[in-house]
Structure 1
Amino acid sequence: MTTLRETIRPQARSREWKAIVVLILLIPVLWSPPFLFRFFLYQPFNIPSGSMAPTLVVGDYVFAAKYAYGYGRYSFPFAPSWISGRVFAAEPEYGDIVVFRTPKDTSVDYVKRVVGLPGDRIQMRQGQLVLNDRPVTRVALKEVLAGSACATDDDAKVRRWRETLPNGASYITYDCVDNGYYDNTNVYTVPPGHLFMLGDNRDNSTDSRVASVMGFVPMDNLVGKVTRIFWSLDEDGEPRFERMGKVW
């Protein structure tokens, strides 16, 4: 009579040898420069919407530095669902543009700007960002044609603001609609281990203001920090050389 131990042991050996063979076959791939670059250093993403306009527009291709905030579950494809926390973790700074997954849908990558860190109080008042009860400095800029950034006539103009966060991070935002739906909000208090995200195109961005879709973003859900545009194509498929190489 064969014991249960003897029955399992050959099967276990078989699985172990298969795993060893697969690992040996993968070693050249795992240590190849393209693999190391793509999975450990910089991951490319393309921008499919105008929620971050004018900073990022449809047709931009960007690199996200995966090491910037350490490595977590969403740093690598096909990572097991039980992984939690981050290795070499670092906290984002105000104004960072980050790629992340939302708690509501972890299958989709989003790109937004960090405007709230753990413990911060965030509010929108008449379209102006308020951080910890202080309106964030903003300066009105010359209006420009809205184009596809706003859901209006392409000949319409969009208001622009130069917004500067407390740490000096400065960027341009779009204001397409007066008193838009999320131009006036309640106060959001960012929980520990979470971030508050906004799109630069404030009236056309689904971000942390929309609790039912995104809400607060756990730091464990970060993928990387957007560092530069490496390629860009307009709606006709022509290169936009003036956008290539832009760095944050």
Structure 2
Amino acid sequence: MTEIRAIVVEDEPNNRDNLLELLKKYCPDVDVIATAHSGSSGIDAILKHQPDLVFLDVEMPDGNGFDVLEKTTSVKFEVVFTTAFDHYALQAFKFCALDYLLKPIDIAELIAAIDKVKKLPPEHSSRDQFEALAHNFNNVQVQSKKIALPTRDGLIFVALTEIIRCESDGPYTTFHLTNGSVMVSKSIGEYQELLEGYNFYRVHQSHIINLNCVNKYIKGEGGNLIMADDTKIPVSRRKKEHFLSKMGEL
């Protein structure tokens, strides 16, 4: 993709003007062909102009960005979400491996997002990720949330309740699920922060476990866990006290 035909959908004039100025100054490959101030006008602009890329505000007075995506499925385009959401809401984007820009927009992050779009193959589509993101925003219960796991063949969407444990293998992480396993090309540390707010805990340098899938704790210097898949997982000595405290909170 050489020149990127883009649309900016943003209801706040100051934020919209700021993004347009940054794109003009730092992203010469981006040609903004239209702007929209609401979800409904964004839908009209996308259907009319058929853009390559949409900068999409998540929350707008007449709806949200997911409404826009739902009504423009006939058009193939990439999305960079813009949002003022807090840290916990941003996890929904990370769960689905989607790009977002936090307002006020950082120049380096904007340039990086554009570079990623430029490197995408022509056949790439993010529609499944959009659907998973909408699902996570609309379902606040932990048991309903899904995470996108990047594999060699694409993304696999897994419910958090299907994850029994994660095991480190150097720069890779294996997710052990209730119905098999998936290896992803990211380190276990990248998933620690993402999962620990959802009853997951890193009991050892090499292991993150689903606290709801612990069947038994065996006493010892650090101790060992018997998980729902019958595997035996060591608990780090320095993590023992905190782990037992976390189990007591369930």
TM above 0.5, yes or no, is no
Q: TM-score range by the shorter chain?
A: under 0.3
Task: Identify the structure with bigger relative contact order (alpha carbons < 8 Å, sequence gap 6+).
Answer: 1
Indicate the structure (1 or 2) with the bigger Cα radius of gyration: 1
Which of the two has greater helix per residue?
Answer: 2
In the superposition, the TM-score normalised over structure 2's length comes to 0.24
